[in-house]
Amino acid sequence: MNLPLACAAGLLAFAALPTLASDRFGPRAELERLSGTYASSAPEPWYGGYGTRRFTFENGRWSLVFTHALDPAMQRRTFSFRTDGPYRVGAPSMSVEGAFEAVFSEDVKRVTLLTDDPAIVQAFGFASCGLSLNVEVDISAKGCAGWKPVSVCHEDHDLLAVDAAGLYFGVRPRDNDMCRPERRPTALLMPVVRQ
- Mind listing the pLDDT tens digit for each residue in 25-61? 989 999 999 999 999 999 999 988 999 999 999 999 9
**Burial of residue 152 (number of CB atoms within 10 Å: 0-12, 13-18, 19+):** exposed
Residue 179 dihedral angles phi and psi, to the nearest 5°: -75, -15
pLDDT category at 140 given cuts 50, 70, 90 is very high
Bridge partners of residue 140, in order along the sequence = none
Would you say 135 and 112 are in contact if contact means Cβ atoms under 8 Å apart?
Answer: yes
Q: What is the pLDDT of residue 175?
A: 86
Give residue 9's pLDDT: 37
Q: What is the pLDDT of residue 47?
A: 82
d(Cα 51, Cα 38) in Å, to the nearest integer? 14
Output the CA angle 81-37-20, nearest 5 degrees. 110
96 pLDDT higher than 70? yes
Mean pLDDT of the chain: 89
Phi, psi of 76 (to 5 degrees): -100, 65
Give buried/exposed letters for 60-88 (b at 16+ CB in 10 A, else e).
eebbbbbbbbbeeebebbbbbbbbbbebe
Asked whether the predicted pLDDT for residue 73 surpasses 80, the reply is: yes
